[in-house]
Amino acid sequence: MEYNHYLIDIEGTLVKDKTFTPVEGAVEWFNEFSADDTRAMLVTNNTTHTPNELLGILREKRFNINDKQISTCISAGAEYLKKQKCRQCYIIGSDAIKRYMQSKGIQVTDSPDVDAVVIGLDTNLDYEKLRIATSALVQNNARLLAMHTNKLFVDGRGRISISAGPIVKALEYASEKRAYVSGKPSPTYYRKFLKKWSCEASEVLMVSDDPLADLKGAKRIGMTTCFVTSGVYRDKSILKQLASKHQPDYAYPSVVSIA
């Protein structure tokens, strides 16, 4: 198959998990694109590292990638907060999100007195954090910004773990608010690339290990999709959960099978 443009997920697709060990053959496969951001972009919902940190890690693993070739939900989230004129936020998430927001002039506090509550993956989540976030949403009418709504991830020890999505759902339920989702699979996020490349959705192949979120969202706006079983889901049985219109166009063991 031949596509003009590729959107490629990172974790579970190019690398195995949070250790960032490359999937066998993925480095060579990706490097065929010779770091051309009009052909291939890496799109990730990673919230444990800033975009620059991710670039550094991937280059260390020998991926030949330029700094315009990566797009993350953190940078998209900061753009949203700026647009909504949010000045202060409470963050459930990593230090990377906090550092990035501060670098963009958004104040990060530990109190519920904020304009926005930001949710990313937080492996140290506890009840107190949920209480502060709920209080900000209910009592201070703060906006709810979800970096993404992923259900699961594979941790650095290869264990299936709960991601940020179920936490977002809990806060939506408690506050009766709907979150704005900055990363995949938000249609606004995906459409940015169609604009960037001035192309039709069908000319883009979206590759990911997550058919329920990443690929379903891409399919909804008309992109061609490719499911790889090198990440969260190790076989194709998960596809039974998808309606026929959301089924991926291709399903392969890994990106290496994409000719």
Nearer to Mg ion, 135 or 163 (CB): 163
Structure tokens at 79: 């753009």
Given a contact cutoff of 8 angstroms between Cβ atoms, the answer to whether 211 and 238 are in contact is yes
**C-beta neighbour count of 228 within 10 angstroms:** 29
> Would you call 221 helix, strand, or coil by DSSP?
coil
* Cα within 13 Å of Cα(94), Cβ side: 16
Paired residues of 92 in beta bridges: 119
Only one of the segments 5-13, 49-57, 123-131, 159-167 lies at the binding site for Mg ion (rule: CB under 5 A); that segment is 5-13
Q: Which residue is nearest to Mg ion (CB)?
A: 12
Of 100, 122, 181, give the one whose Cα is nearest residue 132. 122
Only one of the segments 4-12, 135-143, 186-194, 233-241 lies at the binding site for Mg ion (rule: CB under 5 A); that segment is 4-12
Nearer to Mg ion, 61 or 177 (CB): 61
Task: Tell the smallest beta-carbon distance from residue 9 to Mg ion (Å).
Answer: 4
> What sign has the CA pseudo-torsion 227, 231, 237, 240?
negative
Which residues, numbered 120-139, are part of the site for Mg ion (CB under 5 A)?
A: none
Structure tokens at 91: 């963050």
Only one of the segments 9-17, 71-79, 109-117, 159-167 lies at the binding site for Mg ion (rule: CB under 5 A); that segment is 9-17
Task: Tell the smallest beta-carbon distance from residue 169 to Mg ion (Å).
Answer: 19
Phi and psi angles of residue 204, each rounded to the nearest 5 degrees, phi first: -105, 130
Phi and psi angles of residue 15, each rounded to the nearest 5 degrees, phi first: -120, 160
Query: Is 9 a residue that touches Mg ion (CB under 5 A)?
Result: yes
Task: Tell the smallest beta-carbon distance from residue 133 to Mg ion (Å).
Answer: 25
Which residues, numbered 187-226, are part of the site for Mg ion (CB under 5 A)?
A: 209
Nearer to Mg ion, 11 or 115 (CB): 11
Please give the Cα distance from 221 to 26 (Å, whole number). 27
Which residues, numbered 12-51, are part of the site for Mg ion (CB under 5 A)?
A: 12
Nearer to Mg ion, 115 or 209 (CB): 209
Task: Tell the smallest beta-carbon distance from residue 13 to Mg ion (Å).
Answer: 5
List residues binding Mg ion (CB under 5 A): 9, 11-12, 209
